[in-house]
């Protein structure tokens, strides 16, 4: 809460109207008013113009005032006041760059210095009080004070907020109560004479008045107090100025000194109220209104002026609670001269000046100044750079009606004064004293009375004294701009130096070039106003930089566009002392990871935490966090956010979430993004699966919606939905179909039934002999189809060779098929053969061997495969051979011929000697042994010769292998003898 309390008492203004007075009387009143003001200021030192700019910490540092301080306390508690204050100063106006206010101009009460109670850059629960006790006279009974200030509001109660009070006490110490008002912050009472910006209440200059007529002859105490808040977190600063003047209390309110200026025949008039009141309100006749913007000015103009119109003026000395009213009748006036004066010039120069004050015209004035030679020298009310002489001014009203207002003329003399010595105290501090007096030519500096040579700077407009000595004297002789020979005597006075500090260097972002540094300089006591200079430049490896300000009245300087981490040097000068410091622009560098970082898929109904993680755990409040968008996201200004999506089935959405992490000490946002796919797969449906058979050809492709899912939990179904009935057990089976989006899965269970195949059997003889027929009968199904296209349950077949026959049987209930294949083996009749010698000589034995069957039955009763016979005569033997599989039988017979194997020959003893032939019978090869040379002839049973030969060897191989079995006749010739032998060939 910002509280401004001030006792207010109404009063009449003690200045009468000047219209109608003679020029001499006007001249007297004009300078009498100046005398009154001067006299009233002499009564008490209530303003601050006589005090040099600077910081004043002692109780009596400012003449006439007592300075004290204490710590702000909570409501209804008290604290002891200490003499002096660490936060009181006299400052020069105007002031720039003030918080909220911006530029604080000169005080509306006049002058260029004001008091400042408390700092506007430091909140430390400080309270500063400025007090003065004085005797009230008719010359100082009217007090006006002006104030401007800034007060921060917090969450404290009103009596604990920053605030400002103006109080009056009588000589007994009792508060003087008059109508008052309160200037308050947020949550407290307020009036519309201040501005509330956020949590800051502030105002530029306002004027208030106090009339102490009833206290004339007694003492009163004026007390001004300014507060920081009690919690040391909000400051309050007030800029204050005051003045006193006299008031003739015998004037009634109707005698307010209102003047008007209205030339006859003109439509433009102006009326003016006395200055110094807080508010003004003019009321015009209904037919001749004054615009709203003009009606609240102390001096107003209007174009519908009519002589005799009555205007009413209401003035408010300090607040709406105190006011008084006066009426005024508009009259024609003439141009008049209210006062004229001059200042002398040096003897040979042009340093004189003259000024004139005019009245009577509502349209303004034209001025014509002439010198003694009647030459026009100026056309303004004030002129300067005059040589000594007599000057005349002629004044008329401006505008078309200038002649109707008449003309006023006056003369003034600009005298001469001898050259004088201006004696000044020249404060200095440190090891250098800087002497200067700008404006002029022909400079010559003296060390006391010894001239300083030009080589040492003695003829420059300024001179620097190194290692100055307190109370030493330096002089300057020069010719001023008005051609006056002037001189200065400067006495060096050592004063404490001020100081240079870094008021603020906000932390900026790494790599940024928008850094600022506020350099604050507390000038040395007595430092000249407007002579401050600042220079900031880069040093070290910092990129080149330079920023300067010179000849300014500001005690602070802001260097901008500084680089993060760079180092700068500062040199400042207050007109007395040089100061230096250096600083490095602080910056912040940080990074973090945003998890998860793998662009996950999040299923509806689930949640995931997105989190900002630093390599080092940050302090609470070190960073602020901003998450976007807010869709499905619960965050706040925290490093973690929960994402809990809820979407329609079948939807897939990818959202990109952004987190902006900003350090609280610098606006260095670092943005990172996280993409999350939010999925809610629709629950799939499976189309009905018909009953299937447990068969290898029972393959079915399952269909489902949506497609693209995975089938599982059944070995008979492939992942893409191919169902093999042969791989599934008989009966009802289950499986699962799942659709997935990322890690999000929707499942449906399905069933199918597998029926067993009909068990097909075939009966009938499947082993037959060649040429036989058989009947095959199928069983186990309801309908049949044979491989020979027969649809009957049975078929009769007569295959010539072993053949396969298949039948497919169908169960009409399950629609399942099965088949059976049988092989009908056709056994051929055995092909019998009998081996053995079928040509025997009487008395010989032969073995007959049967082949081609499994079992045998001989006609002579034997059942063995081979029999031995020794027939005496030719005989035929038969055999029945039977196969092993089908008992198929065949018959075969063989005839064994019995011959008389005696040799018919012509006896020849020579042939018989050493003659032998063997074997006989044989398979066709006979060996003949003889010791003689023989000739042979072989013929068959029909007498046909098949071989003739002779041999001289002892052995002869007779080969009849190429001939068929049978009986052959061998004739042997030796000389005239013939020997005949019967040969039997039998394979």
DSSP output for 151-167: EE--SS-GGGS-EEEEE
Q: Which residues pair with 406 in a beta bridge?
A: none
Minimum mean pLDDT range among 189-193, 456-460, 463-467, 774-778: 189-193
**What is the gyration radius of the CA atoms in the chain, in angstroms?**
72
Q: pTM to 2 decimals?
A: 0.39
Three-state SS for 481? coil
Structure tokens at 13: 């203004």
Structure tokens at 678: 């939010």
Asked if pLDDT for residue 871 goes beyond 60, the answer is yes
At residue 7 the predicted structure's pLDDT band, cuts being 50, 70 and 90, is very low
Structure tokens at 791: 């649809």
At residue 987 the predicted structure's pLDDT band, cuts being 50, 70 and 90, is confident
9-23, 33-47, 94-108, 113-127: range with highest mean pLDDT: 113-127
Give CA–CA dist 244/496, Å, rounded.
Answer: 33
At residue 912 the predicted structure's pLDDT band, cuts being 50, 70 and 90, is low
**C-beta separation of 214 from 247 below 8 A:** no
Three-state SS for 40? helix
Which pLDDT score, from 0 to 100, does residue 28 have? 31
Asked if pLDDT for residue 759 goes beyond 90, the answer is yes
At residue 922 the predicted structure's pLDDT band, cuts being 50, 70 and 90, is confident
Q: Which residues pair with 313 in a beta bridge?
A: 282, 326
At residue 45 the predicted structure's pLDDT band, cuts being 50, 70 and 90, is low
At residue 907 the predicted structure's pLDDT band, cuts being 50, 70 and 90, is low
**C-beta separation of 234 from 226 below 8 A:** no
- Which of 227, 232, 47, 59 is closest to 128 using CA atoms? 227
Rounded to the nearest 10 degrees, how much is the dihedral formed by the CA atoms of 395, 398, 404, 407?
A: 0
Which pLDDT score, from 0 to 100, does residue 13 have? 25
Give CA–CA dist 575/531, Å, rounded.
Answer: 5
DSSP output for 241-275: EEEEE---TT--GGG---EEE--TT-S-EEEEPPS
The burial of 609, by beta-carbon neighbours within 10 Å (0-12 exposed, 13-18 middle, 19 or more buried), is given as exposed
Give CA–CA dist 293/274, Å, rounded.
Answer: 18
**C-beta separation of 111 from 241 below 8 A:** yes
Residue found under tokens 């106090």:
210
At residue 187 the predicted structure's pLDDT band, cuts being 50, 70 and 90, is very low
At residue 546 the predicted structure's pLDDT band, cuts being 50, 70 and 90, is very high
Q: What's the average model confidence in pLDDT over 411-418? A: 86
With left for phi above 0 and alpha for psi between -120 and 50, is residue 374 left, alpha or beta? left
Non-local CB neighbours of 431 within 8 Å, separated by 6+ positions: 466, 467, 468
Give CA–CA dist 805/762, Å, rounded.
Answer: 10
At residue 570 the predicted structure's pLDDT band, cuts being 50, 70 and 90, is very high
Which pLDDT score, from 0 to 100, does residue 286 have? 83
**C-beta separation of 165 from 127 below 8 A:** no
Minimum mean pLDDT range among 152-156, 289-293, 505-509, 528-532: 152-156
- Measured between its terminal Cα atoms, the distance across the chain in Å is 150
982 vs 686, which has greater pLDDT? 686
Asked if pLDDT for residue 114 goes beyond 90, the answer is yes
Q: Which stretch of DSSP H or E encloses residue 43?
A: helix 23-43
Q: Which stretch of DSSP H or E encloses residue 685?
A: strand 685-686
DSSP output for 347-406: SSS--EEEEEEEES-SS-EEEEEE-TT--EEE-SSEEEEEPSEEEEEEEEESSTTGGGG-
Question: How many CB atoms lie under 10 A from the CB of residue 697?
Answer: 9
Q: What's the average model confidence in pLDDT over 678-707? A: 92
Strand residue runs (E) in 496-564: 499-504, 508-509, 515-522, 532-538, 546-552, 556-562
106-120, 164-178, 248-262, 697-711: range with highest mean pLDDT: 697-711
Rounded to the nearest 10 degrees, how much is the dihedral formed by the CA atoms of 526, 527, 530, 536?
A: -160
Q: What's the average model confidence in pLDDT over 546-560? A: 91
DSSP output for 215-241: GTTSEEEEEEEEE--TTSS--EEEEEE
- Which of 965, 861, 846, 835 is closest to 898 using CA atoms? 846
Asked if pLDDT for residue 193 goes beyond 80, the answer is no
At residue 688 the predicted structure's pLDDT band, cuts being 50, 70 and 90, is very high
Question: How many CB atoms lie under 10 A from the CB of residue 840?
Answer: 25
Which pLDDT score, from 0 to 100, does residue 18 have? 27
Give CA–CA dist 93/756, Å, rounded.
Answer: 112
Q: How many CA atoms lie within 13 A of 398 on its CB side?
A: 13
pLDDT, tens only, 249-262: 333 344 566 888 88
7 vs 390, which has greater pLDDT? 390
C-alpha distances in Å from residue 120, one per residue of 70, 90, 101, 149, 227: 17, 14, 11, 9, 11
At residue 686 the predicted structure's pLDDT band, cuts being 50, 70 and 90, is very high
Give CA–CA dist 326/15, Å, rounded.
Answer: 14
At residue 156 the predicted structure's pLDDT band, cuts being 50, 70 and 90, is low
Which pLDDT score, from 0 to 100, does residue 913 have? 62
Percent residues over pLDDT 90 in the chain: 39
């Amino acid at each position: 809460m910002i509280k401004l309390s001030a006792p207010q008492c109404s009063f009449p203004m003690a200045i009468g109207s000047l219209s109608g007075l003679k020029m001499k009387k006007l001249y007297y009143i004009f300078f009498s008013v100046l005398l009154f003001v001067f006299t009233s200021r002499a009564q008490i030192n209530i303003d601050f113009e006589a005090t040099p700019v600077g910081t004043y910490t002692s109780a009596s540092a400012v003449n006439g005032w007592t300075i004290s301080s204490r710590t702000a306390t909570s409501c209804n508690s008290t604290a002891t006041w200490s003499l002096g204050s660490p936060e009181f100063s006299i400052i020069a106006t105007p002031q720039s760059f003030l918080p909220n206010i911006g530029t604080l101009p000169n005080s509306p009460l006049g002058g260029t210095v004001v008091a400042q109670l408390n700092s506007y850059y430091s909140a430390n629960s400080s309270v500063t009080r400025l007090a003065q006790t004085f005797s009230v006279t008719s010359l100082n009974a009217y007090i006006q004070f002006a104030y401007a200030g800034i007060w921060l509001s917090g969450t404290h109660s009103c009596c604990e907020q920053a605030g400002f009070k103006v109080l009056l006490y009588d000589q007994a110490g009792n508060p003087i109560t008059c109508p008052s008002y309160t200037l308050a912050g947020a949550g407290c009472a307020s009036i519309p004479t201040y501005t509330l910006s956020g949590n800051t209440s502030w105002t530029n200059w306002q004027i208030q008045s106090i009339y102490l007529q009833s206290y004339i002859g007694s003492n009163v105490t004026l007390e001004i107090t300014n507060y920081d808040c009690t919690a040391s977190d909000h400051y309050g600063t007030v800029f204050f100025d005051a003045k006193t003047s006299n008031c003739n209390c015998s004037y009634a309110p109707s005698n307010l000194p209102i003047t008007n200026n209205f030339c006859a025949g003109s439509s433009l008039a102006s009326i003016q109220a006395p200055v110094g009141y807080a508010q003004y309100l003019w009321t015009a006749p209904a037919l001749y209104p004054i615009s709203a913007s003009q009606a609240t000015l102390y001096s107003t103009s209007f174009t519908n002026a009519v002589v005799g119109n009555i205007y009413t003026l209401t003035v408010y000395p300090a607040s709406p609670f105190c006011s008084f009213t006066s009426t005024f009748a508009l009259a024609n006036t003439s141009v008049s001269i209210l006062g004229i004066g001059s200042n002398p010039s040096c003897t040979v120069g042009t340093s004189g000046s003259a000024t004139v004050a005019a009245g009577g015209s509502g349209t303004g004035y034209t001025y014509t100044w002439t010198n003694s030679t009647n030459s026009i020298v100026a056309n303004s009310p004030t002129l300067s750079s005059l040589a000594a002489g007599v000057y005349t001014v002629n004044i008329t009203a401006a505008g078309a009606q200038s002649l109707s207002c008449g003309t006023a003329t006056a003369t003034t003399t600009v005298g001469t004064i001898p050259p004088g010595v201006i004696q000044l105290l020249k404060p200095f501090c440190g090891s250098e004293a800087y002497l200067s007096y700008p404006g002029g030519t022909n400079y010559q500096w003296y060390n006391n009375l010894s001239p300083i040579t030009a080589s040492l700077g003695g003829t420059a407009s300024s001179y620097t004294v190194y290692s100055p000595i307190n109370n030493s004297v330096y002089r300057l002789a020069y010719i001023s701009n008005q051609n006056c020979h002037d001189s200065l005597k400067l006495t060096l006075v050592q004063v404490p130096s001020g100081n240079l500090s870094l008021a603020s260097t906000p932390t900026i972002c790494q790599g940024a070039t928008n850094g600022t540094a506020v350099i604050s300089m507390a000038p040395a006591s007595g430092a000249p106003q407007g002579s401050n200079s600042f220079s900031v430049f880069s040093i070290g490896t910092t990129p080149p930089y330079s920023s300067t300000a010179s000849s300014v009245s500001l005690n602070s300087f802001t260097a901008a566009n500084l680089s993060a981490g760079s180092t700068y040097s500062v040199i400042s000068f207050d007109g007395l002392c040089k100061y230096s410091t250096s600083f490095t622009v602080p910056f912040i560098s940080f990074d973090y990871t945003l998890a998860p970082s793998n662009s996950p898929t999040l299923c509806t109904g689930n949640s995931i935490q997105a989190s900002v993680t630093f390599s080092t755990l940050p302090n609470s409040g070190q960073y602020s966090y901003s998450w976007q968008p807010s869709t499905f996201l619960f965050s706040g200004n925290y490093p973690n956010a929960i994402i809990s999506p809820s979407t329609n089935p079948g939807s897939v959405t990818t959202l990109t979430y952004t987190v902006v992490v900003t350090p609280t000490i610098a606006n260095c946002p670092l943005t990172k993004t996280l993409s999350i796919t939010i999925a809610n797969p629709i629950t799939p449906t499976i189309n009905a699966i018909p009953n299937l058979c447990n068969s290898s050809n029972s393959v079915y492709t399952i269909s489902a919606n949506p497609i693209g899912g995975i089938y599982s939990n059944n070995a008979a179904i492939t992942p893409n939905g191919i169902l093999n009935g042969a791989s599934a057990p008989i009966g009802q089976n289950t499986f699962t179909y799942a659709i997935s989006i990322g890690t999000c899965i929707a499942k449906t269970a399905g069933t199918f039934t597998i029926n067993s195949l009909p068990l097909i059997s075939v009966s009938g003889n499947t082993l037959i002999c060649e040429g036989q027929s058989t009947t095959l009968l199928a069983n186990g199904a309801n309908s049949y189809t044979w491989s020979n296209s027969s649809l009957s349950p049975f078929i009769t077949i007569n295959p010539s060779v072993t053949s396969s026959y298949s039948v497919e049987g169908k169960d009409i209930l399950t629609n399942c098929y099965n088949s059976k294949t049988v092989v009908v083996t056709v056994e051929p009749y055995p092909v019998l053969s009998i081996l053995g010698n079928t040509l025997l000589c009487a008395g010989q034995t032969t073995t007959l061997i049967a082949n081609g069957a499994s079992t045998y039955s001989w006609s002579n009763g034997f059942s063995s495969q081979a029999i031995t016979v020794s027939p005496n005569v030719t005989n035929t033997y038969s055999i029945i051979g039977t196969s092993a599989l089908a008992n198929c039988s065949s018959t075969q017979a063989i005839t064994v011929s019995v011959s008389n194997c005696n040799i018919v020959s012509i006896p020849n003893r020579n042939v018989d000697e050493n003659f032998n032939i063997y074997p006989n019978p044989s398979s066709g090869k006979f060996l003949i042994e003889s010791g003689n040379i023989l000739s042979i002839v072989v013929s068959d049973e029909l007498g046909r010769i098949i071989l003739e030969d002779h041999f001289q060897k002892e052995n002869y191989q007779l080969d009849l292998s190429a001939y068929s079995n049978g009986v052959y006749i061998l004739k042997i010739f030796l000389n005239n003898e013939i020997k005949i032998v019967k040969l039997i060939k039998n394979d």
